[in-house]
Amino acid sequence: MVAEHYASHVATRQRRAEAVLGACGYDGYVVSSGVPFTHYADDMDAPFHSVPHFAHWLPLDGPHHLLHVRVGKRARLVRFAPEDYWYEQLPLAEVFWRAEFELEESPDVARCWKRLDLSGRTAYIGDEPALARAHGIAEADINPPLLIARLDWERAYKTAYEVACLDVAESLAARGHRAALAAFENGASELAIHHEYLAAVGCTEEQLPYHTIIALDHKGATLHYTGKRTVGDGRVLLIDCGADYLGYASDITRTWTRKGCDATFRDLVKGVDKLQQRLCELVKPGIPYLDLHVAAHDQIADLLHSIGVLKKSGREAVELGLTGPFFPHGLGHFLGIQVHDVGGRQKTPDGGIQAPPSAYPFLRTTRAVEEHQVFTIEPGVYFIEMLLRGHRQGPTAQHFDWALIDRLLPFGGVRIEDNVLVTAAGQRNLTRPHI
């Protein structure tokens, strides 16, 4: 299913690239797959991530590959294929994407560059600028902001191939989530749940799109908790884990409870799940993403009022600042080649930033919702003492049930996250069919 959409994906990339090149005054651009990053004062490389603008065209892993995109010509791919006995070097198989490019291979980085015809005005994108300069690309044409801004803007609109890749990534992550839930229900530790997740997905931790967040009980109140305790028998599991398929990421969060969990906290988990699904149903072309975020705060206020945490509800509670301590992050972000994909705050195709309002500084997406976009919807409710502390005294203190809050603090927090594709009629939830 993925392969059958690939030729159309490349045709779309070519068509959109030619429009961008024409608007920016270029005949073509070269993008490299990237260089390995070595930690300071160390000889150990960090996990390699391809330059996203390279990965947008094809799923070829590894450093120093070159892709030359040209107006009116098929893209030229030069694969760096070193002779190396330290690390495994696999020959290029009959992969589904091979026929879409003029393909050559070279065992030497400098010779890879010599295989390119850089006549005409050519831009370079990537993290090997010295090589670009050495082969005649002008300084002003290395990572030119206007060209990159326009390419970033285009990444928000997913092709059928990209959606198919995301669907597989959803399925893989869902397999891991089911295994993690079973381990949690059997009283496993965070570390053991992590291992069960990896085994079910069938990958190493480095092959995931981001570090697993597996938090038992109060650790769920740390939004990006990556510790892995060996103590089990938790009452609440907050698990935020994704998977990768051909460079495309899924990003799924669930919160589960088991024996010993407070009944009110169980109601809170059910309530967040229901309001998350209502928020997904609001997604449609033309609505500002900010409106979805504001709706999340309104619904969280109502939920917290219904379970007794807040004495005010709806818009009144939000305007008093009562929901902020419980929902301190943005509702979601673009998703694709990168987990937090680019362009969410981009103002126009030519660049610029549409900053979020001061009340919601961590909102990653401020653009209007459009067909073919993919983003997350991830409301949360957390009991974070450092954020609640400022309300324990002063004029807003009277609006909280502090005894109930103190009772719920040991259970951490709740987050439910799905990945949605915007369609002409509304949205398609990519996550729920799998988990």
The CATH number given to whatever domain includes residue 62 is 3.40.350.10
Q: Count CA atoms closer than 13 A to 46's CA, side-chain side.
A: 10
Together in a domain, 139 and 224 = no
105 occurs within a structural domain: yes
70 occurs within a structural domain: yes
| Strand (E) or helix (H) holding 272 | helix 263-282
Domain ranges, residue 370: 160-429
Chain-centroid distance of CA 289 in Å reads 16
Q: What is the DSSP string of 386-423?
A: HHHGGGSSSTTGGGB-HHHHHHHGGG-EEE-BEEEEE-
Q: What is the DSSP string of 145-186?
A: HHHHHHHHHHTTS--HHHHHHHHHHHHHHHHHHHHHHHHHHT
Burial class (CB in 10 A: 0-12, 13-18, 19+), 313: middle
Together in a domain, 75 and 127 = yes
The CATH number given to whatever domain includes residue 271 is 3.90.230.10
Which phi-psi region, left, alpha or beta, contains residue 67 (left: φ > 0; alpha: ψ -120 to 50)? beta
Q: Which of 154, 169, 184 is the endpoint of a domain?
A: 154
Residue 231 clears pLDDT 90, i.e. is over it = yes
Residue 86's pLDDT band, with cuts at 50, 70 and 90, is: confident
- The answer to whether residues 369 and 360 touch, using CB atoms and an 8 Å cutoff, is no
Q: What is the pLDDT of residues 26-45, one digit of tens each?
A: 999 999 999 998 999 999 88
Together in a domain, 213 and 187 = yes
Number of domains in the chain: 2
Residue 92's pLDDT band, with cuts at 50, 70 and 90, is: confident
Q: What is the pLDDT of residues 135-174, one digit of tens each?
A: 999 999 999 999 999 999 999 999 999 999 999 999 999 9
Report in angstroms the alpha-carbon separations of 282 from 273, 275, 277, 360. 15, 11, 9, 20
What is the reported pTM? 0.96
Together in a domain, 92 and 74 = yes
Together in a domain, 23 and 79 = yes
Q: Which of 89, 119, 154 is the endpoint of a domain?
A: 154
The secondary structure of residue 33, as a DSSP letter, is -
| Strand (E) or helix (H) holding 385 | helix 385-388
- The answer to whether residues 292 and 300 touch, using CB atoms and an 8 Å cutoff, is no
184 vs 258: CA distance, rounded Å: 8
Together in a domain, 102 and 247 = no
Q: Which of 154, 184, 214 is the endpoint of a domain?
A: 154
Together in a domain, 368 and 345 = yes
Residue 395 clears pLDDT 80, i.e. is over it = yes
Together in a domain, 15 and 33 = yes
374 occurs within a structural domain: yes
Report in angstroms the alpha-carbon separations of 261 from 63, 342, 409. 48, 39, 12
Together in a domain, 216 and 69 = no
Together in a domain, 166 and 236 = yes
Q: Compute the mean pLDDT over every residue in the chain, rounded to the nearest whole number.
A: 97
274 occurs within a structural domain: yes
Determine how β-strand 122-125 pairs with β-strand 28-32: parallel
Together in a domain, 72 and 131 = yes
Q: What is the pLDDT of residues 255-284, one digit of tens each?
A: 999 999 999 999 999 999 999 999 999 999
434 occurs within a structural domain: no
Q: What is the DSSP string of 285-344?
A: TT-BHHHHHHHHHHHHHHHHHHTTSBSS-HHHHHHTT-STTT--S-S--B-SSSSS-TTT
Together in a domain, 103 and 168 = no
